[in-house]
Amino acid sequence: MEGSQTCFFHPTVVAAAACDACGKPVCHVCRRSLNALSFCEACAANRHEQCPLAATVFALLVPGLGQVYNAEYRKGLWVFLTGWLVLPWIWGIVDARRVAGEIQAGRRPGAGVWPGYIVLAIKLGVIGLSLTYGFIVWGIVATLGMLASLISGTG
């Protein structure tokens, strides 16, 4: 056999790509494409393809969560802290969607993105996180309102 590599799993089939994680040659059937990279099935199993829709929903429900999903933690923290001002929240939604799309298309490195089981955990917990965020904001607004009425009440 001259130079042409065969699939690691199917020794009679010519390889279509090499796994980007372990380097095993894989055929069209075995190849898994995630974030514009090729993986073998074993390496693809604990990786996650970045999804712009998931990023948008996360960013919509909890300010900054879309950035955390994209593994941009510092940006996420800023959006989380300023999200109650509404404008940073909206910016965070647009940004999360754009960045997730770029990771999915392979224009940004997806090395830092979460493995699939963590993303599943975030999906399951996102409503709770959203309620927690709303509760914190409501608490701050209610406290400020109470203080304002106390001040005006004594005058």
- Where along the sequence are the contacts to Zn ion (CB under 5 A)? 7, 9-10, 19, 21-22, 27, 29-30, 40, 43
Shortest Cβ 84–Zn ion spacing (Å): 44
Least gap, CB of 107 to Zn ion (angstroms): 22
| Minimum gap (Å) between residue 71 Cβ and Zn ion | 21
| Shorter beta-carbon distance to Zn ion: residue 43 or 60 | 43
Nearer Cβ to Zn ion (27/79): 27
Identify the CA nearest to 66 among candidates 74, 56, 53: 56
DSSP, collapsed to helix, strand or coil, labels residue 64 as coil
Instruction: Give the nearer residue to Zn ion in terms of CB position, either 40 or 57.
Output: 40
Question: CA 151, CA 155: separation in Å to the nearest integer?
Answer: 7
Instruction: Output the six-digit token pair for 143.
Output: 């406290």
Longest pairwise C-alpha distance within the chain? 94
